[in-house]
Amino acid sequence: MVTRPRRLTRRQLLAGGATVAGALAFGPRWRATAASRSIVDEANAFLGGDLEDAGLLTGEGGLALRPLAAGARYTSVAHRLSAASHLGVHWLGSAGPAVPRFEVRTAGRQWSAWEPLVVERVGAPAAPDDVFAALRYVAGESRVQYRVALPPGSWVGRVTLALIDARPGEKAPAVRAQAAAGFTPRSRLVVPGLAVDPALVSGPRLYDPVSGSALEVVPRAAWGADESLRKDDGGYERWHEMFVPPRLLVVHHTATRNNYGEDEAAAEVRSIYAYHALVQGWWDIGYNALIDRFGNVYEGRHGRGGDLEDGSLWPESLSAGVSGGHAKHHNYGSAGVALLGESTAPGWEMDGPWGARWEALVRYSSFEAGRCFLPLLRPGAANDGSLETAVVDFLRSDDEWHEAAPRLSGHRDFEQTYCPGDPVIALLPELRRQVHASLAATSRTGVAVTAPAREGPPGAPLSWSWAPEVPDEGWSLAGYEFCVEAWFKPEEGDDLDYVDGYTNERQPRPLWGDLPASATSLTYRPSRPGQYTLHVRPLVRGARGVRRAAFAGSHTYRVPRPLRPTAP
């Protein structure tokens, strides 16, 4: 069993002083950080705006904007936008059928038209009851106003305007400037087995020796990630990295602007980083990777190495299995890639399976599926050799099952959202086909893992059986590699307790063992509640020796917590 000391959760850290203080009696409140500041309207501060058939009334949660008649609306005062490149609006308000509808407009010399805000997320560690809108680009604008339509039964208790300056600065070099100067040692890409000889590796190219997958990526140092945003005053991380082998790939869009230039794309990534880390309270960016419209792949969530806690000088880039914050209850065991822009807005260029962004999405998905041995398609029931979407029964981090989750999905398959938009959803079947075709360097052989159940009590043995698929022509089965990955997530907090199947490090890696080709089953006795997943990947022999096949099989057992006794 692997044990590590418990740490404060992000919510506990926030409760200790990172949240915004109480309301002032009159006027907006201001909060400054290294990369953002916020204007907060609440309580009597709303009285400075225009109340149209709306009033400031006392309810269970205190003073709030509420409708007095049909068509009620509130328009704020004009707030200044000094030194801001992006605006993130979030609010505390009613949910369900009576949802407030927000619009904003900005002004330089004159006011723009009112435009609706796109909801990105409901709830975050820093404000679990807030609704967060997608970021808006406001560089060059000097003022902003918001207005909110209040249908019957709705209310708004607080509105926060987060002003983020993500333009290049001392701690945020532009990608082009960084590339022109050459990568510094701290931005060198390091994964196990990465060739570091300049004669072997040209530029920021990741190589995964386990699967043979490779990918060109813009690391965090190159897009200008200010790593101090992730840390407390002592230099330690607030959101500790947890590692679970991905069984799902999730595609998002960021719902931000589409008309950024190639020299502005890194600033878009930095703004999302600051919005997620500081405003929403994640302390890092939620996506594992991002892709701009020019075909550049950006490293997202921070991975292994490069911090005081592990004493490592060299950071890994795009660490395998690091859990992000992109799909509620599905983050442990998935990788999330975000397309930089709004797929349903004018200017979206990826209207089919072509172009620089599409090619980058195929490259990234092939890299991630390759190093995680994920089958995105499986043989169909028809006799014509057709392929169906591969699915898995996914055990979420809240111990609920997501039945038959597609191995490659859009965000909307896991949460109530329109992300990544219909144009991207329509391309996912072709994305699965192209990724499947890209994994032909070895035998595209998988293994079917079965079990008599999905649940088992602590102490009772768990059993799995498996059968390999027929290897591609020219290959034969040589054996298996396996890993029983077991972990427990406490009900409060984000850190996992690693039970088995991992190296004994603060930032562990899965441990794999070998089995002969004659093996067809395995039994394991769990020591405590948690998630227990068997991963099996075939080894195949070809003309050039033994290699890993393209796909692994898996099956998860849920060993539940004991029921708490109820009071008589």
Q: State yes or no: pLDDT of 32 exceeds 70.
A: no
168 band by pLDDT with thresholds 50, 70 and 90:
confident
- Please indicate, yes or no, whether the overall pTM of this predicted structure exceeds 0.85: yes
**pLDDT on residue 95:** 85
**pLDDT on residue 382:** 56
**pLDDT on residue 127:** 86
In a domain, 1, yes or no: no
**pLDDT on residue 87:** 96
H and E: helices and strands count for the chain: 7, 35
Domain with residue 508: its CATH number is 2.60.40.10
* 415: exposed, middle or buried (Cβ count in 10 Å: 0-12, 13-18, 19+): middle
In a domain, 285, yes or no: yes
Q: Which residue has the higher pLDDT, 309 or 275?
A: 275
Based on the domain organization, do 416 and 461 belong to the same domain? Answer: no
In a domain, 471, yes or no: yes
Residue 246 φ then ψ, to 5°: -70, 140
Pick from 307, 274, 339: which is nearest to 35 by CA? Answer: 274
Tokens of 314: 């060299």
- Pick from 115, 130, 164: which residue ends a domain? 164
Q: What percent of the chain stands above pLDDT 90?
A: 67
- Pick from 164, 186, 207: which residue ends a domain? 164
In a domain, 566, yes or no: no
Tell me the C-alpha distance between 62 and 64, whole Å. Answer: 6
381 band by pLDDT with thresholds 50, 70 and 90:
low
Tell me the C-alpha distance between 176 and 264, whole Å. Answer: 10
**pLDDT on residue 2:** 44
Residues 6 or more apart in contact with residue 83 via CB below 8 angstroms: 163, 165
Domain with residue 311: its CATH number is 3.40.80.10
**Residue range 349-374: average pLDDT?**
96
309 band by pLDDT with thresholds 50, 70 and 90:
low
In a domain, 564, yes or no: no
Q: Do residues 465 and 521 make contact, with C-beta atoms less than 8 angstroms apart? A: yes
Q: Which residue has the higher pLDDT, 179 or 514?
A: 514
- Pick from 438, 456, 473: which residue ends a domain? 438
How many structural domains compose the chain?
A: 3
Based on the domain organization, do 533 and 421 belong to the same domain? Answer: no
Based on the domain organization, do 390 and 523 belong to the same domain? Answer: no
**pLDDT on residue 566:** 54
pLDDT digits (tens, 9 = 90+) for 39-70: 999 999 999 999 999 999 987 778 999 999 99
Provide the 3-class DSSP secondary structure of residue 277. helix
Based on the domain organization, do 432 and 309 belong to the same domain? Answer: yes
Based on the domain organization, do 262 and 371 belong to the same domain? Answer: yes
pLDDT digits (tens, 9 = 90+) for 65-103: 999 999 999 999 999 998 899 999 999 999 888 899 999
**Residue range 421-446: average pLDDT?**
91
- What order do you get walking across the sheet with 248-253 strand by strand? 297-299, 289-291, 334-339, 248-253, 408-410
Q: Which amino acid is at 256?
A: T
Based on the domain organization, do 328 and 206 belong to the same domain? Answer: yes
Cα dist from 124 to 89, 93, 189, 298, whole Å = 13, 14, 31, 23
Q: State yes or no: pLDDT of 152 exceeds 80.
A: yes
**Residue range 243-254: average pLDDT?**
97
Q: What percent of the chain stands above pLDDT 70?
A: 84
Q: Which residue range(s) make up the domain with 32?
A: 10-164
Based on the domain organization, do 419 and 461 belong to the same domain? Answer: no
In a domain, 522, yes or no: yes
Region label for 434, one of left (φ > 0), alpha (ψ between -120 and 50) or beta (otherwise): alpha
**pLDDT on residue 502:** 96
Based on the domain organization, do 483 and 408 belong to the same domain? Answer: no
203 band by pLDDT with thresholds 50, 70 and 90:
very low
**Residue range 202-212: average pLDDT?**
74
